[in-house]
Amino acid sequence: MTGKRLAVTLPLAVACAAGAVLAIADVRTPLRTVLAPLFLAVVPGAGVAGLLRGRDPLTTLAVAGASSLAINIIVAEAMLIFDVWSYRAGVVTVGILGLFLFVLRLIYRGGASAAQRT
C-alpha cells in the first residue's frame, strides 16, 4: 500500500472503529454523532469498493456509495419489519456485512493480486 493511501486509510479505519465502539457501548459523547454515521457510511462502501478494484475510480466511488446506502436501508427496513429495531444491532449487522465483503474480496481478489506480484 502506498504512503498516501495509507495516510488516508489508517485514520479513516480508526475513526470508523471508534464510531462502532462508541455506538455499541452506548457512550454519550458528541463524537458518536459523527463517528457512528461515518462507520455506517464507509464500511459497506469500502467493502464493495474493494471488490471493484481496477475499474474507473469515479464509477467505483458511485457504486460504493450507492451500495452503502442500499445496505443500510435494507438493514433498517428488515429490523423495522421484524420489529427488532436496535441501533446497536444495526451497527453490528452492518459491521458483519462489511467483514463478509472484506472476506469475499480476499477470496475473490486474493489469487489475482498474488499472480500480479510474481
The whole-angstrom separation of Cα 114 and Cα 110 is: 6
Count of domains forming the chain? 1
CB-CB neighbours of 65 under 10 Å: 16
Per-residue pLDDT of the chain (118 residues; tens, 9 = 90+): 678 878 888 999 999 999 999 999 999 999 999 999 999 999 999 999 989 888 899 999 999 999 999 999 999 999 999 999 999 999 999 999 999 999 998 898 775 554 455 5
Spatial contact of 88 and 24, defined as CB atoms under 8 Å apart: yes
Residue carrying the nine cell digits 459491521: 95
Spatial contact of 27 and 5, defined as CB atoms under 8 Å apart: no
- Domain of residue 63: give its range: 3-117
Q: What is the pTM of this model?
A: 0.83
